[in-house]
Amino acid sequence: MSDGSGRLLVLWDIDHTLVDGGGVSRDAYVAAFERTTGRPFEQLTDMTGKTELMIGAETLRLHGIEPEEGVLRALTDAVGEELVARAEQLKQAGRRASGSPQYVARR
């Protein structure tokens, strides 16, 4: 939402009540995990209501990897890169979650 000043307000939907990303976030995690750990991806933690750091740490633990700062930072940085690379895919696959307010805009 812009107030006309050139500033843009971005609201993050960490609990998945407003936006359905169509699986794009999961795909980004899979690619980022395999790229940063060199191991095959097996399982993603439940992402609902969690920050990226929490998701990354829990997902690493599910794979028997201790989420030390270096590996966790590498994973979350890689997830960010993967999401940027999938921006167009997210625009196509993402949609307002059913029951979310009508004022959730798509850009």
pLDDT score for 91: 83
Q: What is the amino acid identity at position 11? A: L
Residue range 46-54: average pLDDT? 85
Output the CA–CA distances (angstroms, integers) from residue 51 to 21, 55, 68, 95, in the order listed.
16, 6, 16, 20
Q: How confident is the model at residue 64 (pLDDT cuts 50, 70, 90)?
A: very high
pLDDT value for 107:
57
For β-strands 95-96 and 19-20, DSSP reports them as: antiparallel
Kindly report, residue by residue over 2-13, the tens digit of the pLDDT: 456 777 666 566
